[in-house]
Amino acid sequence: MSSNANASPQTAREYLRVSRDKSGRERSPDEQHADHVVVGAERGWALGAAYRDIGSASKYAVKARAGFDQLVADLETDCFGAELLILWEGSRGSRRTNEWVRLIELCEDRHVRIFIFTYERVFDPANPYDRADLLELAIKSELASAETSKRTRRAAAATAAAGRPAGRCPYGYRRRYDPVTRKFEAQEEEPQEAAVVRELFSRLHAGHSLRSIAMDFEERGIRTRSGRFFSSQHLRSLALMPAYAGIRVHDPGRESGHTLSPDAKFTDAVWPALVDRLVFLAVKRRLTDPARVTTRPGRGVHLLSMIGLCDPCGGPLAAVRMREGQEYRCHRKSCVRIGYAELNTFVEAAVVAYISRPENLAWLTARDDDEELLAARRQVAEIRSELDDLADQVGAGRLSASLAARAEPGIRARLNAAEAREAELATPAPLRDLIGADMDPVERWQNAPMSARREVVKLLFSPELIGQLRVLRSPTRGHHCPVSERVRWDRKGQ
């Protein structure tokens, strides 16, 4: 395939994003564009509008990927409007192999060829050999990014595979070294810090908000190693550290912070876990649940807002302040209105009645080690090892990179599903804390902060348990009607 075969001028569009060349030097989008202008002039290409991303190719950096998403969307909707796509460095078209495969397929469908500057070569995705090369590039780049500085990376990987610690010693632990050789001996609990970590997890698990924990820690004078108070953000980042569950993460592809790359590897750590792995997963799920981020402000103030439902329209209830006090009202269309204190009292009575019945508690605690959960955990472990195998086989040259690129997204999707299932089954978290051995659950409920109570209500008022709380229209307009006659429980199988 010759890139000069076509005599008429071709239109080319660039996708620009910060990249590093082989020497590790960073090349900014503007510098890349300058390179493209030169090569475009040489080859007689007219450069159309460029797609540009400021940040990383990481799959989690949503805002940093607007340009890439636009590129894919334009290809999908036939709005790309050029014969050539220019990438400065091919391997980083996308760091996610499956996205890269998708991009190649789209280009093939739309008869768009791909020019890669650092290779000085046009690839035609419709040509099976070019296509194989493109797929190969994606895999090689994944390997390359894990080997940026080979020796240190290899050492880090070996350390990780053995579950030994690296980097800063996390809060909650201390490291012991041989006094003579200075060789690492062990990472062990730092008792005072470890107690703080444990408390953090158990409270998050019970539904306490990060903010209420941070405020409480501050009141009690609990400080970070550098002598500051813990912010909510800091506590959140601690709660997302797999180290506390005794999991060693090796993730050379990680950009920054706690967001892991898809290539992260997990091994059992040599240090002791501070929290149960299931607790860790449940907390992580809660903190990273996208639904939480979009929850309306004011959450955690009213027991039932956004949890109770309007029966006529199915919309959520919200607390509204009135001159004569507060009320809950259908948030969508004001179909229903009901006394605030009355409904709260009614609901609290329902919760207390539920949790004071031993058979309910027995059922909820019994879930903890049931067969389904054990099976889900086994499945997660199996799929993880499948992924590891795949990487090993490519590394050892036993599996072609392009085959691996095709297999990987599927395995990844199965892993996500299995992990979600595992977390799901392990979840009755807010309740488990209420059910602790040494205190009466009703007493615990009464002592729990509003954020924790809301978690309990959310869980209990599910269609599988007490049922969804739906508020009916008042049968007699203007006349007072007792709450008990205006509430319907929407239960599964009813």
Contact with Zn ion (CB under 5 A) among 64, 156, 335, 481:
335
Stretch that binds Zn ion, among 137-145, 187-195, 332-340, 359-367 (CB under 5 A): 332-340
Q: Which is nearer to Zn ion, 82 or 310 (CB)?
A: 310
- If one asks whether residue 330 binds Zn ion (CB under 5 A), the answer comes out as yes
Please work out the total of residues on this chain that contact Zn ion, with binding judged by CB under 5 A: 7
- If one asks whether residue 405 binds Zn ion (CB under 5 A), the answer comes out as no
Q: How far is the CB of 338 from Zn ion (least distance, A)?
A: 12
Please write down the HEC assignment for all residues of the chain: CCCCCCCCCEEEEEEECCEECCCCCEECHHHHHHHHHHHHHHHCEEECCCEECCCCCCCCCCHHHHHHHHHHHHHHCCCCCCCEEEECCHHHCCCCHHHHHHHHHHHHHCCCEEEEHHHCEEECCCCHHHHHHHHHHHHHHHHHHCCCCHHHHHHHHHHHHCCCCCCCCCCCEEEEECCCCCCEEEEEECHHHHHHHHHHHHHHHCCCCHHHHHHHHHHCCCECCCCCECCHHHHHHHHCCHHHHCEEEECCCCCCCCCCCCCCEEEECCCCCCCCHHHHHHHHHHHHCHHHHCCCCCCCCCCCCCCCEECCCCCEEEEEEECCEEEEEECCCCCCEEEHHHHHHHHHHHHHHHHCCHHHHHHHHHHHHCHHHHHHHHHHHHHHHHHHHHHHHHHCCCCCHHHHHHHHHHHHHHHHHHHHHHHHHCCCHHHHHHCCCCCCHHHHHHHCCHHHHHHHHHHHCCCCCCCEEEECCCCCCCCCCCHHHCEEEECCCC
Quote the CA–CA distance of 38 and 212 in Å, as a whole number.
Answer: 58
**Per-residue x/- mask for Zn ion, residues 51 to 70, rule CB under 5 A?**
--------------------
Stretch that binds Zn ion, among 82-90, 138-146, 327-335, 426-434 (CB under 5 A): 327-335
Q: Which is nearer to Zn ion, 130 or 327 (CB)?
A: 327
Other beta carbons less than 10 A from residue 381's beta carbon = 13
Q: How far is the CB of 476 from Zn ion (least distance, A)?
A: 19
**Per-residue x/- mask for Zn ion, residues 172 to 211, rule CB under 5 A?**
----------------------------------------
Stretch that binds Zn ion, among 59-67, 125-133, 310-318, 467-475 (CB under 5 A): 310-318
Stretch that binds Zn ion, among 136-144, 187-195, 333-341, 366-374 (CB under 5 A): 333-341
Q: Is the distance from CB of 214 to CB of 230 less than 8 angstroms?
A: yes
Stretch that binds Zn ion, among 10-18, 33-41, 123-131, 324-332 (CB under 5 A): 324-332
Q: Which is nearer to Zn ion, 89 or 311 (CB)?
A: 311
Q: How far is the CB of 337 from Zn ion (least distance, A)?
A: 10
Q: Which is nearer to Zn ion, 160 or 469 (CB)?
A: 469
Q: Which is nearer to Zn ion, 316 or 409 (CB)?
A: 316
Q: Which is nearer to Zn ion, 54 or 335 (CB)?
A: 335
- Name the pairing type of β-strands 10-16 and 51-52: parallel
Q: How far is the CB of 241 from Zn ion (least distance, A)?
A: 43
- If one asks whether residue 157 binds Zn ion (CB under 5 A), the answer comes out as no
Contact with Zn ion (CB under 5 A) among 72, 245, 269, 310:
310
Q: Which is nearer to Zn ion, 169 or 313 (CB)?
A: 313
- If one asks whether residue 466 binds Zn ion (CB under 5 A), the answer comes out as no
What are 484's two structure tokens? 């008990």
Q: How far is the CB of 370 from Zn ion (least distance, A)?
A: 38
- If one asks whether residue 315 binds Zn ion (CB under 5 A), the answer comes out as yes
Q: How far is the CB of 271 from Zn ion (least distance, A)?
A: 53
Nearest to 372 by CA among 433, 416, 412, 426: 426
Stretch that binds Zn ion, among 256-264, 322-330, 394-402, 454-462 (CB under 5 A): 322-330
- If one asks whether residue 316 binds Zn ion (CB under 5 A), the answer comes out as no
Contact with Zn ion (CB under 5 A) among 66, 144, 264, 313:
313
| Site residues for Zn ion per CB under 5 A | 310, 313, 315, 330, 332-333, 335
